[in-house]
Amino acid sequence: MKRSTGASRRRSGPGVWAIIGLAVLATGLGWAAGCGSAPEIVSKVASGDTDAVIAARGLTPDDVYAAVKTFVPTGQKDDYVMFSSGGHSGQVFVIGVPSMRLLKVIGVYTPEPWQGWGYSDETRAVLAGGNVRGKEINWADTHHPALSETGGEYDGEWLFINDKAQARVAVIDLRDFETKQILNNPITTSDHGGTFVTPDTEWVIEGGQYAAPLGTAYASIDKYAEEYRGMVTFWKFDRQAGRIDPDRSFAMELPPYWQDLCDAGKLVSDGWVFCNSFNTEMATGGIEEDNPPFEAGASQRDMDYLHVIDLKKAEELVAAGETVTVEGMKMLPLDVSAANGVLHFVPEPKSPHGVDLTPNGEYLVISGKLDPHVTVFSFEKIRQAIADGAFSGTDDYGVNIVDFDAALEKQIELGLGPLHTQFDDKGYAYTSLFLDTAVARWSLGGKSAGSHGDPDWTLIEKIPVHYNVGHIVAAEGDTVSPDGGYLVALNKWSIDRFLTVGPLHPQNFQLIDIAGTGESMKLLYDMPIGVGEPHYVQMIKADKLKAWEIYPEIGWNPLTQSKDEHAVMIGEEKVERRGNTVEVWMTAVRSHFTPERVNVRKGDNVIWHITNIESAKDATHGFALPGYNYNLSLEPGESTTIEFEADLGGVFTYYCSEFCSALHLEMVGYFLVAP
Ligand code: CUK
Ligand code: CUA
């Protein structure tokens, strides 16, 4: 095989070409029956066809390295799985790394027809949990997915995600990758600092965003300082039940600053929660009345306030009944929090956005959108300053402000528009730079110094990304033990990057190799994603996920994760009439529904139980009932019940909407609605 000099100088040496040869060989062997014999394939590689392909496609050695590094041959599996916010789609995307292949779209806040999400009674009931004061909402602005943790490590069991637009949180069970619960926060109208979990997932944190009167109250904007409030909510997660328990959850009333992102303490800072804020100016807009516009009014001060919350103390006060109730939610009043030292502020520069704890829980990295530095606070120093009463004053609401210099560990100049920070296994931090459109790698110092051998708290290098980068994610990069290896930049829009598909450009996930030390970050892969706008993503080791391939028992109800009381077993199929109610017990199996005819009269109440009685992995059946807006996805073993009024007269064919077998088209029945 010919070698280009460029390739032979690569850090990875001749391995690249050897691997390519092997990959082509392996693929060739797989195809051997249809595409010529193995010896022919070997001779093709040996004769330099690979080089010819590389030359014809104009690939550089870096391209070839990236291709080999990310290529996952057919049948092989990815090392990591990313759970990405689906942005406005209200869904969650599941993506393999390093292949960047989309594995699944999980329906969360919005209907997803293939999975029958929102097209069965049970899934509609979950979606209805997110209704706002009874009003159906059929979109979301999902921002931050959070994997459940045990001891600060992802445990692969649960996933949570917020909806900024309507202040909602959702719970997804990673046994079947289905949403189980959606809750609407009753005391606020928008959120942002969520979802984040405490190290053992006792609490799912939902911080607010835009201050408003609490609950459903109205107050004129002239009464902003008196009547508008921010908040953070601690949702109690009951792992046994697999649900958030609203009765054991509580909120904290906060000043009407706009709380932004939060992070939970871990290890040394376990039991504390940190949320930053902006608009401590309490700008209320009104450019039409000659007020400064929000973007100027909310950016006048050099410092806003990092909210430092003693969660353990808050829990004690809640247990002691120091709460008020707003719209059914327990809430710790602001004056109680301030007086009892539950809440402290630390000044943070300048238009803060991200707050991220280092893996050891000792340092907080704050990114100010208008400050070229990241600001690193020491948790130990903050706690000492609180203990010593080293305050520089109080805010208008009586909250003590920790002296900035007393809390500060370091400020590191990285570049323009720093937003979000992740970590690796070597003691490096990575920060997205929105205005620079780059990712900065910098070395942690102090108690976080790693094995990188670089001087403490130093910018090491930057890699340009395309285009404006928001969040970044590294492998397990916000846990107590990040993996390193891969980082993905979540870029907004992708000007000039892909084929033009109209004026709304795809988002762009860029996979970056961070396995090396020093100046060695390499761009590996561009993944345009035509659904937006994903904000945050988490990346978990694939082998931590223990998802079911089929449901554990025939007759399974995914909502209760147990056998359904109405499950229909083989031989139990029947149609019964009681007055105006017709009850159907049906089974689905390749390739028929039993019964195949259901006769009702217009206006009857129909109760229809359907069980997929198969236990083969590839035996999902759909159940489409046209006109009645039902489309069920019945995974092997799954059972569900629908109930409706037969208000459309005529003859309808219910059919299987999943190509399940050679006789799938025959998997059909007649639903006859007589006048
Ligand atoms: S946010 Cu979107 S780029 Cu909601 Cu975490 Cu920063
Ligand atoms: Cu069952 Cu198609």
CATH number, domain with residue 654: 2.60.40.420
Contact 363/446 with Cβ under 8 angstroms?
yes
Same structural domain, 88 and 167: yes
- In-domain check, residue 192: yes
What pLDDT, in 10s, does the model give residues 444-459?
999 999 888 888 999 9
Nearest-ligand number for the alpha carbon of 536: 1
- In-domain check, residue 551: no
Give the integer Cα–Cα distance in Å for 530 and 563: 38
CATH number, domain with residue 128: 2.130.10.10
pLDDT at 21: 43
Q: Is the pLDDT of residue 15 over 70?
A: no
**Residues 6 or more apart whose Cβ sits within 8 Å of residue 367:** 352, 353, 354, 355, 374, 418, 419, 420, 421, 431
**Average pLDDT of span 432-443:** 97
Q: Which ligand 1 atom is the nearest neighbour of the CA of 354?
A: 6
- In-domain check, residue 1: no
Q: How close is the Cα of 24 to the center of ligand 2, in Å?
A: 37
Give the integer Cα–Cα distance in Å for 118 and 131: 13
pLDDT at 40: 52
What pLDDT, in 10s, does the model give residues 373-393?
999 999 999 999 999 999 999
Give 1's pLDDT tier (boundaries 50, 70, 90): very low
Same structural domain, 314 and 416: yes
**Average pLDDT of span 392-402:** 97
Nearest-ligand number for the alpha carbon of 590: 2
**Average pLDDT of span 157-185:** 98
Same structural domain, 507 and 588: no
Q: Is the pLDDT of residue 465 over 90?
A: yes
What pLDDT, in 10s, does the model give residues 619-658?
999 999 999 999 999 999 999 999 999 999 999 999 999 9
Percent of the chain predicted with pLDDT > 70:
93
Q: Which of 501, 516, 544 is the last residue of a domain?
A: 544
pLDDT at 480: 98
Is there an atom of ligand 2 within 6 Å of 100 CB?
A: no
- In-domain check, residue 199: yes
Same structural domain, 496 and 424: yes
Give 29's pLDDT tier (boundaries 50, 70, 90): very low
Q: Which of 487, 521, 544 is the last residue of a domain?
A: 544
Same structural domain, 216 and 242: yes
Q: How close is the Cα of 145 to the center of ligand 1, in Å?
A: 11
pLDDT at 45: 52
Give the integer Cα–Cα distance in Å for 377 and 43: 61
Residue-averaged pLDDT of the chain: 92
pLDDT at 470: 96
Higher pLDDT, 332 or 8: 332
Residues with CB under 6 A from ligand 1: 143-144, 192, 261, 353, 419-420, 470-471, 535-536
**Average pLDDT of span 481-492:** 97
Residue nearest to atom 1 of ligand 2 (CA): 621
Q: What φ, ψ does residue 607 adopt, rounded to 5°?
A: -115, 125
Domain that holds residue 617: 556-674
Give 49's pLDDT tier (boundaries 50, 70, 90): confident
Q: Is the pLDDT of residue 550 over 90?
A: yes
What pLDDT, in 10s, does the model give residues 567-615?
999 999 999 999 999 999 999 999 999 999 999 999 999 999 999 999 9
- In-domain check, residue 249: yes
Same structural domain, 374 and 476: yes
**Average pLDDT of span 493-521:** 92
Is there an atom of ligand 2 within 6 Å of 667 CB?
A: yes
Is there an atom of ligand 2 within 6 Å of 206 CB?
A: no
Q: How close is the Cα of 620 to the center of ligand 1, in Å?
A: 37
Is there an atom of ligand 2 within 6 Å of 624 CB?
A: no
pLDDT at 31: 34
Same structural domain, 189 and 284: yes
Q: How close is the Cα of 570 to the center of ligand 1, in Å?
A: 51
Same structural domain, 294 and 440: yes
Give 38's pLDDT tier (boundaries 50, 70, 90): very low
Is there an atom of ligand 2 within 6 Å of 409 CB?
A: no
**Average pLDDT of span 140-156:** 98
Q: What φ, ψ does residue 221 adopt, rounded to 5°?
A: -70, -15
pLDDT at 2: 34
> Where is 420: in which H helix or E strand?
strand 418-423
Q: Which of 517, 544, 571 is the last residue of a domain?
A: 544
Same structural domain, 585 and 528: no
**Average pLDDT of span 16-24:** 42
| Tokens encoding 473 | 């994610």
Same structural domain, 663 and 533: no
Q: How close is the Cα of 573 to the center of ligand 2, in Å?
A: 18
Nearest-ligand number for the alpha carbon of 656: 2
Q: Which ligand 1 atom is the nearest neighbour of the CA of 535?
A: 2
Q: What φ, ψ does residue 654 adopt, rounded to 5°?
A: -90, 135
Q: Is the pLDDT of residue 25 over 90?
A: no
Q: What is the count of structural domains for the chain? A: 3
Same structural domain, 537 and 607: no
Q: Is the pLDDT of residue 180 over 90?
A: yes
- In-domain check, residue 75: no
Q: What is the per-residue DSSP string for 279-318? A: -TT-----GGGTPPPHHHHTT-SSEEEEEEEEHHHHHHHH
**Residues 6 or more apart whose Cβ sits within 8 Å of residue 28:** 35, 36, 38, 41, 42, 44, 45
Same structural domain, 365 and 449: yes
Q: Which ligand 2 atom is the nearest neighbour of the CA of 588?
A: 1
Is there an atom of ligand 2 within 6 Å of 634 CB?
A: no
